[in-house]
A and B are shown apart, each in its own frame.
Chain A
Amino acid sequence: MANRKINKRDIEKLLSQWGQEFTVLAPSKESGIATMSKWNGKHANFLDWYRNTVIPPKGNFFPSMEKMFNFQKDKEGYHLELPASNEQKQLIFGIRPCDARSLAILDMTFKDAYEDPYYLPKRKNALLVGLGCTNPYDSCFCTSLGINPAESSDVDLMLIDIGDEFLIEEVTDKGKKLIAAASGVEEASEADEAKAKEAKEASYNKVTRKIDTEDIKRKLSSSFDNQDFWEGIAAKCISCGICTFLCPTCYCFDINDELAKGLGARFRSWDSCAFPIYTKMPMENPREEKWRRVRQKVYHKYGFYPMNFGVIACTGCGRCIRQCPVNWDITQTLDRLPAEA
């Protein structure tokens, strides 16, 4: 069946319509930075400025802090009160192909050793409507990781900018159902399809930062013990959590209790392998030195994740490069990996 299309000025109506069934999230700067936040129900002005969010959409499924349960302590012991199950249906409008892929990568971890009861229900209840990039950042390198910035198989519907309109690709059955009843949608012509194809090519070519994943794989296998190299690479890193917290595929968390006067709550919150305390144990810390932590980050993404799940845990979204306060650039590190001895 032929694809469909929608005029850009009808996006507001479409979002309103979806808003009756779902909690619609869309790019927003209302909080002070670009995030995927509850759509204001008013306009789709984000189409004018949106390139990508600062906080990746992982934050909508695995927030920076999340209450796991409440507890009460009395003479008989502890009583737990689990949070009400989250049946809220989220529709994320405008997710970029890199970020949609990152969720597919996160899914692997959150249902691997055990089924994560916080992440997975939110994921299952969510619909993703992708929006192709027309203007990637100079820090983006998604094409080197097999992603076309205007194409995605990790969403339910994919929108591609073809001028005054978006071409709509139905990726999943859920997406098909979503668009079937949508107003303002019409059938796309062959000319529209051709425009979409051109748009994808154009977006692809705009991504100029490149890495060579095959070469990286080879070199990583012999670089682990090269302390000199890692010390040099790590020297300017300040060990903050920006690159890991804002990474759409980093999932480490810490667990802490808040307890006052017998009432308490357990929280989980983002944690980072960049912090020395992350691996601190009573007698020792295997990653006390900075170079070991920097090495860990690079290996986790490009070495260990592929070993465990068969995919690189990086989508080339470029957030770690854009946001780093010392311009530590992972593509440079990967590029400078020493050749095999």
Chain B
Amino acid sequence: MEQRLRQEAKTLLEQGKVDYIIGFEQGSLKFTTTPLITKDKGDADRLVINPFIVNNLSVYLTDIEGRVGVVAKGCDSRSIVSLIQDNKVNREEVVIIGIPCPGIIDLSKIEQLVGKDRDELDDITRDGDRVVVTVDSKKKDFPITEVLFDNCLGCEFPTPKEYDVLLGEPSTPVADKTVSRAKVETLEGMTQEQRWQFWEEEFSRCIRCYACRNICPACFCQRCFVEESEPQWILPIPQWQDNLIFQAIRNIHVAGRCTDCGECDRACPVNIPLRSLTKEMYDLVDELFHYKSGMDKDAPPLMTAYETEEAEDFIR
């Protein structure tokens, strides 16, 4: 698949079909990949596909001018479609190189399971439904349901539906929806007071680095409300109350755009479980509007469309 990708990227650049290729290359740390954004066909041989291609590369599409060939997993391709729906990306100017995604490995989970940091591990290999981790020359075996990202475990569409090239056969969802929603369920089981206390503690750690917002393809506003000063919606200082409101409003803004790619959660340097909010919103959108983000490029964006027969029982 990697060889085909490299060939595809080279051809696209050579034939002038795209100005840029956005894909993944080997990162500078163990088990890490990094976005590769290039105009140079000579760089195509650096492209990789492996179980560590975490980033949702569609975030760069609103940043780069020209025609772009972009590597996209299932969730990423939906983010692209969502950007097309919002008129942020022109379908004609993007070549989607689809990757049927077998699920991405969550290094934090592996660190927890083996009690070592990622740079202390010798090897991590995916073998079908298992992942083998080699630590101190000893092999440890885990089912993928224990080591894939929570959002991958809940992913219904691992294979891109919108693409120009699809590399490989469609992959089947891993589907462990219990694990995928576990954190949300825990929160729903709490009393209101307990939940409030939970989020107070979590958002007390927030340093307002805005990595959650900047890594998010759905957060494409030219100017974010947090930076407005007249009126000032929230204070720019990282008080937990303001941090919580920032995240709550961000969540509402990405409702109907969020594809549950999990990037906000992964990017957070202080481990705030942001996906517990985005996943709940994702499921609510589905429940109330029977809508899943980024499935149809010709559909109007969820929040701009209204139908008179729409149920209004969500007003409660």
Binding site for B on A (CB under 8 A): 31-33, 51, 54-55, 64-65, 135, 137-139, 235-236, 238-242, 245-246, 254, 256, 258, 267, 269-270, 272, 275, 277, 290, 321-323, 325-329, 331-332
Contact = CB atoms under 8 A, between A and B. Distances in A.
Interface in B194-224: 201-202, 204-205, 207-211, 213-215
B162 interface: no
Interface string B26-51: 01111011111100000000000000
Contact of A240 (B209, B237, B238): B209
29 contacts: A31-B204, A32-B201, A32-B202, A33-B271, A51-B117, A64-B238, A65-B238, A137-B117, A138-B30, A138-B119, A235-B37, A235-B60, A239-B214, A240-B215, A241-B209, A242-B267, A256-B236, A258-B237, A269-B208, A269-B237, A270-B207, A290-B63, A325-B211, A325-B215, A327-B34, A328-B34, A329-B28, A331-B28, A332-B28
Contacts of B205: 31-33
Contacts of A258: 235, 237
A325 to B, nearest CB: 4
Interface string B169-193: 0000000000000000000000000
Given A241-B211, A267-B237, A323 B30 contact: no
B141 interface: no
Q: Which of the four size classes fits the interface of chain B? A: 35 or more
Nearest to B64: A235
Interface in B223-282: 227, 235-239, 263, 266-267, 269-271
Interface of B: 27-30, 32-37, 55, 59-60, 63-64, 117, 119-120, 201-202, 204-205, 207-211, 213-215, 227, 235-239, 263, 266-267, 269-271
A245 B209 contact: yes
A139 B215 CA distance: 22
Given A33-B270, A137-B119, A326-B35, A242 B30 contact: no
B28 A246 contact: no
B211 A321 contact: no
Given A33-B270, A254-B236, A325-B263, A241 B208 contact: yes
A238 B215 contact: yes
Nearest to B20: A235
Most buried by A among B33, B202, B205, B213: B205
Contact of B270 (A54, A139, A236): A54
Contacts of A332: 28
Contacts of B202: 32
